[in-house]
Chain A
């Protein structure tokens, strides 16, 4: 080609998300748990993400939990049918608020989890097409996926 494309990934494949959460991060998937642990009240100290507006804070479809961590990640369904990841990074040791531990594991803004999902989903698609795939890690938590065997 011919084209260079930039793609904003939408989470649509929950089994793929679950696989990476469990296998790569040692997290526990809580199916159909409709609320995730966070500070518990939106106090307006940070800007609400645009795609979460209109959704009651703390509600979700499923929960991703880390063993020994009280705060959790909510898998939230959006109006377009895709999902996003919600979490609270607030920390206060004396009060049991440990959002920083989610950030330590999944990266700021849960980017590591999002990137792992993208890689899993992309590789899964490649295999379903019968193409050959080779992946290698790059600097700054980036991954290169080379796809060949295309006729």
Chain B
């Protein structure tokens, strides 16, 4: 299940962890949160970011 876990720190800054996403599919939401809330001061890519998202396609002949 896709979940975003946000910790509001004591000083009001945020730690944002996006769980259950694969590859770069979370980038749009991540950008939206950053734009809405403030400035990203630190960003770490987790191993899942580098996992390939499996896609299927139907081809009509």
Given contacts A3-B26, A4-B44, A6-B42, 20 further A-B pairs with CB under 8 A are A1-B18, A2-B23, A2-B48, A4-B15, A4-B43, A6-B14, A7-B15, A111-B10, A114-B11, A118-B13, A118-B14, A119-B8, A125-B33, A143-B7, A143-B8, A144-B5, A144-B6, A147-B4, A147-B6, A150-B4
We find that the number of chain A residues with CB closer than 8 angstroms to chain B is 32
A contact residues vs B (CB 8 Å cutoff): 1-10, 109, 111, 114-115, 117-119, 121-122, 125, 138, 140-148, 150-151
Given A10-B37, A144-B5, A148-B2, the answer on whether A4 and B17 have CB atoms closer than 8 Å is yes
5 A-B interface contacts by CB (under 8 A): A6-B14, A7-B41, A9-B38, A118-B14, A145-B7
Contact B40 A4 (CB under 8 A): no
Contact B49 A118 (CB under 8 A): no
